[in-house]
Amino acid sequence: MNAADDELLEALVIMFTVITSGLLVIMAVFRIPSHFSALPSVLAAFGASGLIRVKMLNFWLQRTGRLDQMFSLMQIHLLEIASFLMLLLILLFSVRPNRPNYWQGTHSSGSVTAEWFRHLASSSVLLFVAGLAITGYGMGVFFAGAAPTVFFHGGGSGVHFITLGLVVVIAGVWLLRGRAGHLAGVPLILYTLMLLGATYAAGD
């Protein structure tokens, strides 16, 4: 692959990390007590930042010809997927549902689970997922091709996508107030900003 293909692959790999961690933030909104609502954003941001650093290091080793020091991206992705599924199962089966007003009329665990997925499929949450995907691609472009200690490599195009994604999420918070799932927007914005800040601080 040429340099452009390598940077696109790196951008998509970083985008995968941003989106999977962001999805957990959205899902956690309805499953944890409201006074802990910022905790998933913080934990997800720092976890995703660490994974992005590891992936950037791997691509940097590849670009500098240090192939003997590289590690398998497949193993990292398997770890990400396994962690995502484990945390999803914990949220689904081990955490008491949050936002009691969203669960009126549901008593059994099966009906609560079905109600949870119904809210996750609401128009507001789908809008936030779209904003997360746009922001994730922007971060991928932003960080792709840089050394592990150098950030903002992607420049303008990455910034534009990140800004657009945040605008979509913020618009969802204001336009969809009162609808099921709209509360996921604020933790998602916090996650995005903390991820950018943590990744920048780690490479500063």
In which residue are the tokens 């904003």 written?
A: 131
Q: Which residue has the higher pLDDT, 168 or 38?
A: 168
Q: How far apart are CA 102 and CA 20, in angstroms?
A: 24
* Top-ranked range on mean pLDDT: pick from 41-50, 143-152, 156-165, 191-200: 41-50
Is 125:203 a contact under the CB 8 Å cutoff?
A: no
Q: Which residue has the higher pLDDT, 191 or 29?
A: 191
Phi, psi of 16 (to 5 degrees): -60, -45
The mean per-residue pLDDT over the stretch 8-32 comes to 87
Q: How far is CA 154 from the centre of its chain?
A: 19
Q: Which residue has the higher pLDDT, 15 or 8?
A: 15
Kindly compute the dihedral angle of the four CA atoms of residues 196, 201, 203, 204, in this order, to the nearest 10 degrees: 130
**What are 71-88's pLDDT values in tens digits?**
777 888 888 899 888 888
Is 175:188 a contact under the CB 8 Å cutoff?
A: no
Q: Which residue has the higher pLDDT, 11 or 99?
A: 11
Is 91:150 a contact under the CB 8 Å cutoff?
A: no
| pLDDT computed for residue 38 by the predictor | 81
Q: What angle do CA 175, 185, 107 make, to 5 degrees?
A: 100
DSSP 55: H
Q: Residue 123: CA atoms inside 13 Å, Cβ hemisphere, count?
A: 7
| pLDDT computed for residue 39 by the predictor | 85
> Taking the CB of residue 84, how many other CB atoms lie within 10 A of it?
14
| pLDDT computed for residue 22 by the predictor | 92
- From the number of C-beta atoms within 10 Å of its C-beta (0-12, 13-18, 19+), residue 57 rates as middle
Residues of the chain above pLDDT 90, percent: 19
**What are 112-160's pLDDT values in tens digits?**
555 555 555 556 678 888 999 999 999 988 887 655 444 444 456 888 8
Q: How far apart are CA 30 and CA 116, in angstroms?
A: 7
At residue 90, does pLDDT exceed 60? yes
pLDDT-wise least confident of 98-102, 184-188, 198-202:
98-102
| pLDDT computed for residue 105 by the predictor | 45
Q: How far apart are CA 38 and CA 28, in angstroms?
A: 10
Q: Which residue has the higher pLDDT, 66 or 19?
A: 19
| Average per-residue pLDDT for the chain | 76
| pLDDT computed for residue 127 by the predictor | 83
SS3 (DSSP) at 181: coil
Phi, psi of 185 (to 5 degrees): -65, -45
